[in-house]
Amino acid sequence: MPEKRPLRRAVFLDRDGTIGEELGYVNHIDRFQIFPYAAEAIRELNRAEIPVIVVTNQSGIARNIFPESLVHEVHKKMVAVLAAGGARVDAIYFCPHKSEDACECRKPNPGLLERAAREHALDLAASWIVGDRYADLEMGHAAGTRGILVMTGYGRGEYELHRNAWPRQPDARAENLRDAVSHILQNGGGAPRRDE
Ligand SMILES: [Mg+2]
Ligand SMILES: [Zn+2]
């Protein structure tokens, strides 16, 4: 990698339980329901010129529960709903494998973040991940990012039932994606463009 290429901080977002409802395998387009505040939250990141990158495990592909084409269809819908709310994501990465495949991209492994960092010239140490499962935070910590656990999706249950067993606690906890974005923008997530 050329050394003088400037690296940008990013915000990585989990999909199910964070941007939209956690309903188990999204095996039909109708099962993907975006939270009503998601576009507004992502728009704030867009306004701060912080790249927004979705990272999601979709083992339903490897398990033959749904085809990869459905994942693309769901992402098309997500992008369209977000666009209607004036928001956009810069990239979407998914792991199609199941845990038995021992791939490097399935959360909590950091493969998707590392791939995104290479392809988008990102500074992982200055980046954040927002997710509803400890695996999201583990992935982030393995790659050097900070992590926020949201209380939507599996978040509240994971936090209340399992946090004592976590080797590293979330860097922050938020009620939902909107609150997580506020936290990021108040804690060194924003591009310092106004002072320049
Ligand atoms: Mg999730
Ligand atoms: Zn994988």
Q: What is the mean pLDDT of residues 148-164?
A: 98
The ligand placed nearest to the CA atom of residue 20 is: 1
131 alpha carbon – ligand 2 mean position (Å) = 18
Query: Would you say residue 3 has pLDDT above 70?
Result: no
User: What spacing in Å lies between the alpha carbon of 21 and ligand 1's midpoint?
Assistant: 9
pLDDT of amino acid 191: 45
Taking alpha carbons only, the member of 182, 176, 189 closest to residue 14 is 176
pLDDT interval class at 4 (50, 70, 90)? low
* pLDDT tens string 112-146: 999 999 999 999 999 999 999 999 999 999 999 99
Output the DSSP codes for 9-54: --EEE-SBTTTB---S---SGGG--B-TTHHHHHHHHHHTT--EEE
Ligand showing the shortest atom-to-Cα distance for residue 101: 2
Question: Is residue 30 scored above 50 in pLDDT?
Answer: yes
Predicted local confidence at residue 6, as pLDDT: 85
The model's pTM? 0.93
Active-site residue numbers? 14, 16
Distance between CA 126 and CA 7 in Å, rounded? Answer: 9
Task: Please report which confidence band the pLDDT of residue 73 belongs to, taking 50, 70 and 90 as the band edges.
Answer: very high
**Å from CA of 4 to ligand 2 middle:** 31
Does residue 189 surpass a pLDDT of 70? no
The ligand whose atoms approach the alpha carbon of 110 most closely is 2
For β-strands 172-174 and 11-13, DSSP reports them as unpaired
Q: How far is the CA of 84 from the centre of ligand 1 (A)?
A: 23
Residue 152 pLDDT more than 60? yes
